[in-house]
Amino acid sequence: MLSTAAETTPLALLRQHWGHQQFRPGQADIIAAVLAGHDALALLPTGGGKSICFQVPALARPGICLVVSPLIALMRDQVENLRQRGIKAEAVYAGMSHQEIDQTLDNCVYSKEIKFLYVSPERLLTDLFRARLARMNVGLLAVDEAHCLSQWGYDFRPPYLRIAELRALLPATVPCIALTATATGQVRQDIVEKLHFRPGYGIFTQSFARPKLSYSVLHTEDKLRRLLEVLRGVGPGKTGIVYARTRRQAEDTAAWLVQQQLPAAAYHAGLPAEQRTRTQQAWLTDKTRIIVATNAFGMGIDKPDVRAVVHLEAPATLEAYYQEAGRAGRDGLYAFAVLLSGPADADGLRRQAQLAHPPVDVVRRVYQALANYSRTAVGGGELVAFDFDLGLFAETYRLRAVEVHHALKVLEQQGFVQLTEAVNQPARVQLISNQQDLYQFQVANAQHDLLIKALLRLYGGELFVTFQAISESALGRHLRQSTTDVVRQLRYLHSAGVLHYQPRRELPQAMFTTPRYDAPQLPLDERRLKTARQLTEQQTTAVVEYAASLTRCRQQLLLDYFAEPDAPACGVCDVCLARKKARQAPEDPAGLPAQLLQLVQTEPLLPRQVVARYPAAEAAAIMAALRALVELGKLAYAADGRLHTT
């Protein structure tokens, strides 16, 4: 194929494949750096067009772009998305069979047309992968969700650390681009070091400010009532996300909102995949206005007109809060991010932080149980994924689910175990025998003839070449048989060596990332356990302070956390608004300042004593008003800290 220079400029590629006329702010600089062969760290807020930053240069450079990504759902979305734009892309992840992985990697070696190979990090250093990599013409290495590299981040994944080893296997001319939506200064530094960035690298950041997103914290003992007020206040017909901490809370809250005549639905990972898809679709198409979800919801979803994101409980980190809250107002119009905070919430967060670090003996017990559950012998099981049902697991081994959850997290962080989210994967089939053998089999086994014919009729000759997604129920309808019968026959044909059959699955996967240890010998790194505990404490403190702060602009507070210390006050958060209100002329007798002046005139009071005389929700406004009155010289502090009139 002839290609002119004009066709491969970044802008031409953008227009050709994405149909956008211009790059968004920041994108062009990042792309130029990568095309010049430099390593780059790109920090772009969610919804800021992150993937374009590596997809466009990948198309402009020769060879294939290797994309490391931790989330299967996200990976599959992107592959699907690229294919729809006429770009060939493949993915390799936990839950695929050995044959499938083998075949996909082979395609990437031999087909010059495949431009993207998405890989989950633990696959990177298998022998199979290394062997193929040596023969692959890699042009670019992209590391998505790069904060997973840092143990200072909020989602550390040890297999990410091995990307540096991967770099050593690639020619020195292959640049690396790392992308993330959130990273503190410490995490940025970590990414640059751990990926062995070469001199001349660039860090590209955009401000994390969201000028039209109004953050607020409502202190209340009655969260449901406040939730209702917020959702009604946003206006009818507007879209919202309510984040709950637990599945139960999500369901109960959704049911309650429906009782209150609000079109709401619950969404969490415990619901069947079909129901999740249906709920998500109803929300995306404005049929269900409000979704009440656990944090399983939102990843990879881009609905621009969300007007409010309300948290019933604070998430464990400000990173998570920023990401989730940031799903409001992607269209650039005014939107609300509201955190509902109850009197016991700070204690609750601290308790959870403690639970997140179970004692070492519990961790070992869960490791042993996992070995029993998966029937993995000592020394075996490395990178063999198995279906993992946490509820069933906990029940079988008489462990508490929450304990199991956290022990597995520890095992994951220490690099012994890997868990992947539930992925709704359709059943797949590939025919192993050639046409002639198959025909002979059909003649000799007439009872399977109809099913094989139906397979070929519905899915075509491609079945001889690669795995094809099939539907057991569609086959059943075609054959007027039950789905169970079809599954039974496919299983038989699989065991008879006629075809590879992978049943449909929607359970999360787990696997050992090292050969299995004898649990008492598991080499847990105690120092790292301690560091992890300290980090969790810091993160919890930051969240608690965010929720408790009455005097600092919330946008400023968040930006400061993400290494943007000098941001101006936003003017739209609850603290800024309270400050504005407090600056009403003290002469206005109906205004808050006038009331406060009167109160303090009667009796000098400490600021917190003043605050205590008003409803909790007013606290921020009171504090702001007091400060304004001091600045105006209407109030002053006495030596004992009490405020008095001047």
How many chain residues touch Zn ion (CB under 5 A)?
6
How far apart are alpha carbons 459 and 471 in whole angstroms?
10
How far apart are alpha carbons 540 and 560 in whole angstroms?
16
Which residue lies nearer to Zn ion by CB, 548 or 612?
A: 548
With binding defined as CB under 5 A, does residue 570 bind Zn ion? yes
How far apart are alpha carbons 47 and 590 in whole angstroms?
44
Q: What is the nearest approach in angstroms of Zn ion to the Cβ of residue 214?
A: 8
Which residue lies nearer to Zn ion by CB, 411 or 622?
A: 622
Binding segment toward Zn ion, per CB under 5 A, in 3-11, 321-329, 493-501, 568-576: 568-576
Considering only residues 579 through 638, tell me which ones interact with Zn ion, judged by CB under 5 A. none
Count CB atoms within 10 A of the CB of residue 265: 24
**Residue 44 exposed, middle or buried by CB count within 10 Å (0-12, 13-18, 19+):** buried
Considering only residues 301 through 360, tell me which ones interact with Zn ion, judged by CB under 5 A. none
Instruction: Tell which one of 576, 592, 620, 621 touches Zn ion (CB under 5 A).
Output: 576
Query: Helix 318-325 vs helix 554-561: angle between axes, to the nearest 10 degrees?
Result: 120
Distances in Å between the alpha carbon of 478 and those of 171, 425, 458, 493, 589?
52, 21, 9, 18, 79
With binding defined as CB under 5 A, does residue 82 bind Zn ion? no
With binding defined as CB under 5 A, does residue 195 bind Zn ion? no
Which residue lies nearer to Zn ion by CB, 509 or 555?
A: 555
Which residue lies nearer to Zn ion by CB, 341 or 418?
A: 341
Binding segment toward Zn ion, per CB under 5 A, in 338-346, 369-377, 472-480, 571-579: 571-579
Which backbone phi and psi does 499 adopt, to 5 degrees? Answer: -150, 165
* Adjacent-strand bridge partners of 239: 306
Which residue lies nearer to Zn ion by CB, 88 or 552?
A: 552
Q: What is the nearest approach in angstroms of Zn ion to the Cβ of residue 554?
A: 6
Which residue lies nearer to Zn ion by CB, 214 or 468?
A: 214
Which residue lies nearer to Zn ion by CB, 576 or 600?
A: 576
How far apart are alpha carbons 40 and 47 in whole angstroms?
19
How far apart are alpha carbons 161 and 153 in whole angstroms?
13
How would DSSP label each residue in 320-358? HHHHHHTTS-TTSS-EEEEEEE-TTHHHHHHHHHHHTS-
Binding segment toward Zn ion, per CB under 5 A, in 281-289, 378-386, 409-417, 562-570: 562-570
Binding segment toward Zn ion, per CB under 5 A, in 1-9, 148-156, 432-440, 573-581: 573-581
Site string for Zn ion, 507-546 (x = CB under 5 A): ----------------------------------------
With binding defined as CB under 5 A, does residue 363 bind Zn ion? no
With binding defined as CB under 5 A, does residue 553 bind Zn ion? yes
Q: Residue 410 is inside which H or E element, if any?
A: helix 401-413
How far apart are alpha carbons 265 and 269 in whole angstroms?
14
Binding segment toward Zn ion, per CB under 5 A, in 61-69, 88-96, 260-268, 561-569: 561-569
* 3-state SS track over 35-103: HCCCCEEEECCCCCCCCHHHHHHHHHCCCEEEEECCCHHHHHHHHHHHHHCCCEEEEECECECHHHHHH
How far does CA 113 lie from the centroid of its chain? Answer: 30
Instruction: Tell which one of 335, 363, 573, 594 touches Zn ion (CB under 5 A).
Output: 573
Q: What is the nearest approach in angstroms of Zn ion to the Cβ of residue 583?
A: 14
**Residues engaged in binding Zn ion (CB under 5 A):** 553, 555, 569-570, 573, 576
